[in-house]
Amino acid sequence: MLSAPVFSIRSLRKARLSTVSAFALIVAAGVFTPHSAHAAFVETPADSSADEQSLLQADEISYDDTNTTVTAIGYVEIHRAGRVLLADKIVYNRTTDVATATGNVSITDTNGSVLFFDSIQITGDLKEGLASEVRVLLADKSRMASRLYRRNPDGTSELDNAVYSACDSCGDQTPLWQIKASHVRYDPEAEMVYYNNAWVEFGGLPVFYTPYLAHPDPTAGAKSGLLLPTIGASRNLGLSYKQPYYIHIAPDRDATLTPFLTSEAGKGAIGEYRQDFESARLRVFGSLMGDDNDFNSDLRGHLDATARWDMDENWRSGTDIRLASDRTYLRRYNFIAPTWLTSNLFAERFTSNSYFSANAYYFQRQRIASAAGSVPGVIPLLNYNYASDPDSLGGYWTVDGNGLVLVRETGTDTNRLSTRVGWNLPYTASYGGVYTFRASVRGDGYYVRNLPRPARGDVFTGTTGRVVPETSVEWRMPLVSDSFGIHQFLEPIVMGVYSPVGSNKDTIPNEDSLDLEFDDTNLFSTQRFTGYDRVETGARINYGVHWATFSRSIGTVSAIVGQVYRFHDDAAFSPQSGLRGYFSDYVGHVDLTPNPYVTMQYRFRLDKDTLESRRSELSATVGPELLRVTTSYVFVKAGTTATPSTEELYMALSSRLSQNWSMAFSHRQNLTASGGAIRTDVGITYEDECVVLGLDFAKDNTQDRDFKKGLAVVLRLSMKTIGDLKFNTDVGAER
């Protein structure tokens, strides 16, 4: 059982050094040179540096000429080469160069560790010593205790029958976890601690034995060596084992290599390399697995790499590489698995007035299979944006340029060059109205290959283009009220926009404007399409009102609601967009924060004729850290049989049950008629100063190819200064 050292800081008191003792030390003995009334330097060779001198402080110091001993009593301190020895009494033998310290003995080492003894015999330079019943408080507040302690001439320390733990413990209380070993050696030069015949105990019970164990000194920082493994049994992998080995190459670079063994999904390895340069950063993470228990058969793997280079104060470049051998690999082997993997190579330039970027993209779809060769590559995508300084009227010019080369193995290829020049003039009237005038002209040129035109029944290849002039004026009238302790803000907004009708030709492909979502965020935009390939044309009016109130009693409430009126029916918008016809659907957003423990948001789109909900997003967070509930609800009404309705509910609960215990619960449910539970997670965690212990349950109801659904159980154990250990298994896996 590990007993925590108990100590207090003692204030220095003026020493009571008698005249006889001082004379004996200074004149007769010639051992010390006086430093102050209560301190002296131990004599050292003439060529010794100041760091090798020993400073002694005590209440009383006496010298025995017969036995050649110096005795220091009462608040004794010895300082040498950064080490400090404290004791109630020290007897130093000049002949043997050995000091015996007794009574509340402690030694503070150069790395911040403190050793406590009842008594110790140690050489005058504090480099060699022998003691029993030592207790050690390491620099990171972890603790060690031993029956026998030896300090060797080479600077290493050895402990027999030792106990180590990073947990706080009082008196006879057993730490939550501890390591017991028959022999421990600490090498300060290597900054490593080595154990022989070690048992890891948890809650006083031995759970793991190893004949050899090593970990870095708490002050050492990064060190090469084995990390704790991850052991599991899952429906997708069978029995699995990961054993990471960390490689500290240099202060600016390191690597981790992890053999990965499974009983049902083959074997392989995971690797990671990291390096920091003076103005750049590199991280490469990846894996390679041989499926079907044959490393040379059906090789699967992935690569996740990131690089950044800050070339100067204006230029930056970099790359993100995200690749996988197939669309279920990441999920099956428990890696992060987004819907799309996007690889990107870029360079960009920033100035006070402009921004330029050049990008190349490659995409891989993960959740749904794509037709071979149909996913495009973008080489390159160029963007340029410029805004001038204000002129004498307060107006400013903008220039926006875009270039694109998009290619496919099978399907349509697109080359595009687009330029837009605009002038903007903000103006505030004397009565408080805020106006913004805008005028622009945009030119788009395309070269297209293999563009299907279903309405004509042919495929187009050739050049095409358009010119789109556009003007707009926006008016806002902010009104403020402050009465009865309630602050209110009311702002009606009206925007008129005009551009010629008929700019969306069937010879122009739609690559970047497919994902249109009409909501409050683009209600007052002149162009609601997300890209360049489609433009919003004709005369239209965007109008709405923004209201907010603030008070101590009701907190903060804000809302915005609006609509669009079009003077013609724009066929560029689908019937499901909410923008088809003369009047659009109503869109809005409501935020409610009555107090720090309640936050609610509601975003909606309502049918313009029936006020039926077309899209609803509701989210709320309620409660303090003691018990917090989070919920979100999404509903999107069906447009056609090909795009059915979406209705999903997510709920999460977290609770800080006590200072050390917390729990979390989450559930995602598909509420449509053909839906059901998507995923459920339950977890409970214990955390204190030395350990994090967690138990998680997850029920996943998604399944795809070789990724099977089922219930998973994960046990997480993180021991401070030692590492992380994870066990996972599946219960009732469905195949």
Q: Give me the percent of the chain exceeding a pLDDT of 90.
A: 47
Task: Output the six-digit token pair for 629.
Answer: 């509930």
Query: Is 297 within a domain?
Result: yes
Give Cβ neighbours of residue 478 (< 8 Å, ≥ 6 apart).
Answer: 432, 434, 489, 490, 491
**Residue 256 falls inside a structural domain:** no
| Residue 510 confidence (pLDDT) above 70 | yes
* Banded pLDDT at 19 (limits 50, 70, 90): very low
Cβ(730)–Cβ(712) under 8 Å?
yes
Mean pLDDT of the chain: 84
Which backbone phi and psi does 140 adopt, to 5 degrees?
-95, 15
pLDDT, residue 217, reads 72
407 C-beta neighbours (distance < 10 Å), count: 14
Kindly write down the DSSP assignment for every residue of 704-726, as one continuous string. Answer: BTTB--EEEEEEEEEETTTEEEE
Q: Average pLDDT in the 151-176 region?
A: 82
Q: Residue 71 half-sphere exposure, CB side, CA atoms within 13 Å?
A: 8
**Which of 597, 631, 649 is the last residue in one of the domains?**
597
Please indicate, yes or no, whether residues 119 and 163 belong to a single structural domain of this protein.
yes
CA-based R_g, the chain, Å: 37
Average pLDDT over residues 36-49: 43
The domain boundary residue, chosen from 221, 256, 290 = 221
310 band by pLDDT with thresholds 50, 70 and 90: very high
pLDDT at 255: 96
Q: For the chain, what's the residue count? A: 735
Of 568, 565, 573, nearest to 518 (Cα)?
Answer: 573
Task: Using the CB atoms, write b or e for 291-325: b if 16+ within 10 Å.
Answer: beeeeeeeebbbbbbbbbeeeeeeebbbbbbbebb
Query: Could you tell me what percent of the chain has a pLDDT over 70?
Result: 87
Residue 398 and residue 423 in one domain? no
pTM attached to this predicted model = 0.74
CB 246 within 8 A of CB 222: yes
Residues 569, 692 share a domain: no
* 452 plus 360 within the same structural domain: no
Range of the domain at 64: 19-221
Q: Residue 630 and residue 601: Cα distance in Å, rounded? A: 12
Closest CA to 510 of 594, 453, 437: 453
Residues 58 and 127 placed together within one structural domain of the fold: yes
**Residue 36 belongs to domain with CATH number:** 2.60.450.10
Question: Is residue 602, in this structure, part of any structural domain at all?
Answer: no
Query: Mapping DSSP to helix (H, G, I), strand (E, B) and coil, where does residue 395 land?
Result: coil
- 271 with 177, same domain: the answer is no
Region of residue 689 (left: phi > 0; alpha: psi -120 to 50; beta: else): alpha
Report the DSSP pairing between strands 230-234 and 723-731: parallel
Residue 215: inside a domain, yes or no? Answer: yes
Instruction: Look at residue 234 and tell me if it is in a domain.
Output: no
The answer on 478 and 388 residing in a single domain is no
What does the pLDDT read at residue 43? Answer: 43
Evaluate whether residue 239 is within a structural domain. Answer: no
- What's the rounded mean pLDDT across residues 464-470? 96
Asked if residue 657 and residue 543 are part of one domain, the reply reads: no
| H/E run at residue 149 | strand 143-151
Say yes or no: 85 and 40 in one domain: yes
Q: Which residues are bridge partners to 147 per DSSP? A: none
Q: Are residues 531 and 662 in the same domain?
A: no
Looking at the structure, tell me whether residues 82 and 216 fall in a common domain.
Answer: yes
Q: How far apart are the first and last CA of the chain?
A: 48
Q: What residues pair up with 354 in beta bridges, in sequence order?
A: 386
Listed residue (686, 728, 733, 697) closest to 229, CA to CA: 728
Point out the least confidently predicted range of 299-308, 461-470, 506-515, 639-648: 639-648
| Domain count within the chain | 4
pLDDT higher than threshold 70 for residue 269: yes
Q: Is residue 639 part of a domain?
A: yes
Per-residue pLDDT tens digits for 95-132: 888 889 998 899 888 778 888 988 888 886 667 888 88
Instruction: Mark which of 597, 613, 636 sits at the end of a domain.
Output: 597
Show the DSSP H helices in 445-511 as ranges: none
Largest CA distance in the chain: 119
Q: Is the pLDDT of residue 292 over 90?
A: no
Contacts of residue 313, defined as CB under 8 A and 6 or more positions apart, other chains included, come to: none
For residue 488, is it within any domain?
yes
Does one domain contain both 378 and 489? no
What pLDDT, on a 0 to 100 scale, did the predictor assign at position 336?
85
Collapse the DSSP code of 20 into the 3-class scheme (helix H, G, I; strand E, B; otherwise coil) and give the result: helix
Q: What does residue 20 show for φ and ψ, rounded to 5 degrees?
A: -60, -45
pLDDT of residue 170: 65
